[in-house]
Amino acid sequence: MSKITMKEIAKLANVSQPTVSRIINGNGDVNDEMAKRVRKVIEDVGYIPNKAAQTLKRSQSHIIGVCVTQMYNPYFVDLIDALEQKLHEMGYSIILHNSRHNPITEWENIQNFMARQVDGIIIVPTGTNNLSRISKLRIPTVVITQNNKYFDSVGINYMQAGRIAGQYFINGGHHKFGFIGHFPDEKFSGFESILYENNYKFEQKNYIKLDVSSTNNFLIRQDIEKYFNQIEHIDFTCAITTNDIAAIEFMRAAQERNIKIPGDISLIGFDDTLLSKILGITSIHQPIEKMVETTVEILWNRIDDKISSDLIHLQLEPTLVERTSSMRKKK
Amino acid sequence: MSKITMKEIAKLANVSQPTVSRIINGNGDVNDEMAKRVRKVIEDVGYIPNKAAQTLKRSQSHIIGVCVTQMYNPYFVDLIDALEQKLHEMGYSIILHNSRHNPITEWENIQNFMARQVDGIIIVPTGTNNLSRISKLRIPTVVITQNNKYFDSVGINYMQAGRIAGQYFINGGHHKFGFIGHFPDEKFSGFESILYENNYKFEQKNYIKLDVSSTNNFLIRQDIEKYFNQIEHIDFTCAITTNDIAAIEFMRAAQERNIKIPGDISLIGFDDTLLSKILGITSIHQPIEKMVETTVEILWNRIDDKISSDLIHLQLEPTLVERTSSMRKKK
DNA sequence: CTGTTAGCGCGTTCAC
DNA sequence: GTGAACGCGCTAACAG
């Protein structure tokens, strides 16, 4: 069955094809009786306008390209889900791509977005590899979950997140601190700075370094095991992790070594995903709803060319959600 | 900056526009020197063909519409991720929609897919509400994760899944069985049947019924709490759950009541998501890679009109992954 | 208010 | 081998 076109609707209703267009889009006044007749035909045959043709004509697709670096961490999934919902409400669709931390795939995805005439791009970049190329495309783009110099960006105040966690530990009476994550990391800088301000020092040997490409449980676990195997004993009583997955894997690795959490080590995760909720891990919450809302708003304004060309860099405030993983036995 | 068109490429290379088209698509022979010149221009200006125009002309978009019912359960995310990867390899993009278990939203999504001229649809249906309407659209459609009479479908043998779990418990010496899930459920039917065949009986009071709309941890937990509050004591020593989230929430609710898992109750989850992996919950594994592969293959053949019109209903075989949640202390 | 005309960017005849 | 002409389905500018 070949698809039905506007022209055929016109013929069935004995009107011209542009008249049908007017009725559908509400442009220009149309005779009521005529409109009613046309609408009935549309209803009867289940006609749906061809958006490829509309895109071609209007040069806007009402599609937003979304490209993330992974879907393993539930945090990104929450993000995608919220984006889909918000954009759906606004009459937009999303084309979803996953770069899997691969810059080459990322560039393919961007090219595809361009070919598809997307109205805008929301991206979690793999790094800085493609950024200059993307900016040359002059397509409205917002970087999300990261702060970025070259594009509008919506993230959270990672520095502050690190500080909140650090302050929490200091208040809890800790003075030996650990960090589990990639390098470099703004969270870590914030963490280190608040320690410094309180006359504590972060010892480099307590930095459990994860590989950049360690995105799933297994790989992160390997990195952690490696750490455990090369040290004699753990020299910190509290630690923050770069995300909830790392927190979980650290917790499991610790359990196997009879290290109690929070008894021996007080732990704070990151992202406040369902993982931390389920396992009772204290975690830094990111306001996903708000991030998505502002991201879409910025993009919307850029598409409409309504705002000045000054880039916007939004840093939302993180909050700490306390759960059992960080609670010391005696207070 | 208005986008560059094929016509402009043609002008820059001193050839006609159809020639550029031929070079790009490899249709018809073109003078080598000419081709080289044109390719250089394309490269230099970063020209990307407009897929909206191609879609209009070729009446195929190379887009697959994917509509799921939720993204809270990591199982569906794994599915989406695998689909994106596979389809990307084949030169397809996906438009992702979430119906959130709402048939009205689902229908909107389908309509949008049609408007976007998708080449095919992959769907986890909300129920039977829209199925007949969808089949009237005559768009290649595969139902995934469910067995379905009206469409090609790729799921797993849920009946068998229930039987595997049941057999496992029987082998473990259990004779009082519980089930946590929605009604009706093929897994349950399988579970019940294997019990019956072994002269055991499933007691209805041990069916912890979840609401159809209970999709997240909180709601599922509420249903479970309700059950606990209305019974005097638990009368089963083992149970299977409809998915891993239900398993987790049952486990947590049990913990709070000092019911030991697996000590007092042996538990089997469903989907083998990262949740069960992390928490050591025995779970029924679904071969996602294989599901996606066959789904795409079926869709591909339907699009190419290569297969007979007989519907295909594939049921892949589930396997049980044993972890600690089902291991009895003494064997 | 309505129909006629043109053109979005591309692929595909069809002549040369 | 190559260019001129046409049309995919739709919106917009123009007459009437």
For residue B303, the domain's CATH number is 3.40.50.2300
Check whether residue A279 and residue A203 sit in a common domain: yes
**Pairing between strand A319-321 and A282-285?**
antiparallel
**Whole-angstrom distance, CA of residue A120 vs CA of residue A295:** 11
Segment A84-106 mean pLDDT: 97
B326 domain-assigned = no
Check whether residue A134 and residue A166 sit in a common domain: no
**Pick the residue with more confidence: A189 or B304?**
A189
Residue A287 has pLDDT above 60, yes or no: yes
Check whether residue B281 and residue B180 sit in a common domain: yes
Lowest-confidence segment of A231-235, B167-171, B191-195 by average pLDDT: A231-235
Does B222 contact strand D, using a CB cutoff of 7 Å?
no
CB-proximal positions of chain D, under 7 Å: 1-5, 7-13
Q: How far does CA B192 lie from the centroid of its chain?
A: 25
pTM: 0.94
3-state secondary structure of A331: coil
Under a CB-based contact definition with an 8 Å cutoff, are residues B208 and B234 in contact? Answer: no
At A37-49, the pLDDT tens digits run 999 999 999 999 9
Check whether residue A148 and residue A167 sit in a common domain: no
Task: Say which of A2, A77, A112 has its CB closest to residue B77.
Answer: A77
A279 domain-assigned = yes
Does A97 contact strand C, using a CB cutoff of 7 Å?
no
Residues 6 or more apart whose CB falls under 8 angstroms from that of A318 comprise A156, A157, A158, A160, A161, A164, A284, A285, A286
Q: Which residue is nearest to nucleotide C7 (CA to C1')?
A: A57
Residue B324 has pLDDT above 70, yes or no: yes
CA of B18 to C1' of D6 (A): 13
Segment A150-178 mean pLDDT: 96
Cα first-last separation, chain B: 73
pLDDT of residue B216: 86
DSSP alpha helices (H): ranges in chain A?
6-13, 17-25, 32-45, 51-58, 74-89, 103-115, 131-136, 158-171, 186-197, 217-230, 244-256, 274-279, 288-303
Under a CB-based contact definition with an 8 Å cutoff, are residues A291 and A144 in contact? Answer: yes
Check whether residue A146 and residue A27 sit in a common domain: no
At B88-98, the pLDDT tens digits run 999 999 999 99
Under a CB-based contact definition with an 8 Å cutoff, are residues A155 and A144 in contact? Answer: yes
Name the one residue in this structure whose structure tokens are 């259990």.
Answer: B174
Counting the structural domains of chain A, the total is: 3
Check whether residue B197 and residue B282 sit in a common domain: yes
Does B230 contact strand C, using a CB cutoff of 7 Å?
no
Burial class (CB in 10 A: 0-12, 13-18, 19+), B172: middle
Check whether residue A193 and residue A211 sit in a common domain: yes
Question: Residue A221 belongs to what domain range?
Answer: 158-286
Does A111 contact strand D, using a CB cutoff of 7 Å?
no
Q: Is the peptide bond between B262 and the residue preceding it cis, with omega within 30 degrees of 0?
A: yes
Tell me the residues of chain B between 258 and 277 that have a Cβ less than 8 Å away from chain A: 274-275, 277
Check whether residue B151 and residue B294 sit in a common domain: yes
Check whether residue B202 and residue B281 sit in a common domain: yes
The reply to whether residue A136 touches residue B84, judged by beta carbons under 8 angstroms, is no
* Residue B45, domain CATH: 1.10.260.40
Check whether residue A139 and residue A180 sit in a common domain: no
- Would you give the DSSP letter of residue A138? T
Beta carbons within 10 angstroms of residue B262's beta carbon? 21
Chain B residues closer than 8 Å to A275 by CB = 275, 278
Percent of chain A surpassing pLDDT 90: 91
At B130-158, the pLDDT tens digits run 999 999 999 999 999 999 999 999 999 99
**Whole-angstrom distance, CA of residue A331 vs CA of residue A173:** 9
Percent of chain A surpassing pLDDT 70: 98
Segment A270-290 mean pLDDT: 95
Check whether residue A93 and residue A126 sit in a common domain: yes
Residue B58 has pLDDT above 50, yes or no: yes
Segment B288-310 mean pLDDT: 92
A107 domain-assigned = yes
Q: Which residue is nearest to nucleotide D9 (CA to C1')?
A: A53
CA of A51 to C1' of D2 (A): 33
Q: Whose CA is closest to A224, among A178, A292, A274?
A: A178
Chain B residues closer than 8 Å to A61 by CB = 52
Instruction: Choose, out of A44, A83, A89, A96, the residue to mutate when testing the contact with B (most B CBs < 10 Å).
Output: A96
Check whether residue A275 and residue A247 sit in a common domain: yes
